[in-house]
Amino acid sequence: MSWLDEVRWNSDGLVAATAQDVQTGRILMQAWMNREALALTAGEQQAVYWSRSRGKLWRKGESSGHVQKLHELRLDCDGDSVLLVVEQLGGIACHTGRESCFYRKLTEDGQWLTTDEVLKSPDAIYGEDMSGSSDNG
């Protein structure tokens, strides 16, 4: 049995994948992987995801240069989620130009507060055509 057979894929053949910074422990992003993406990530030691909006493999950093170098790959207790402990090259994981996709925090009055600054304009990273897409990379 392959290690990939131990993953509990959802009905779409995907597994949730969370990227965490190896140095700080900060959660950088959450995306999806199919079997091929997970195998490629392990083999290439760089994050490869499945883009649901584009319907194809997506190598993190292919258009932005913000590659995620894999340090460790973990499977959760239920087998339905993977954790990628990564070195985020360029320090930007989010397509909005921020360090993390989790840059908004719920306040006591029920509002989302933006807590992280934009490190680099999405237009400067991707050009005007791609800055609005949620799974740039």
Q: For 26-38, what is each residue's pLDDT tens digit?
A: 999 999 999 999 9
Spatial CB neighbours of 117, under 8 Å, sequence gap ≥ 6: 98
Please determine, for residue 24, whether its predicted confidence score (pLDDT) is greater than 60: yes
Radius of gyration of the chain (CA): 15
Average pLDDT in the 5-32 region? 98
pTM (2 decimals)?
0.88
Does residue 61 contact residue 67 with C-beta atoms inside 8 Å? yes
DSSP per-residue letters across 94-117: STTSSS-S--EEE-TTS-EEE-S-
* pLDDT above 90 (res 63): no
Q: pLDDT class for 22, splitting at 50, 70, 90?
A: very high
H/E stretch holding 36 reads helix 35-44
96 with 120: CB under 8 angstroms? Answer: no
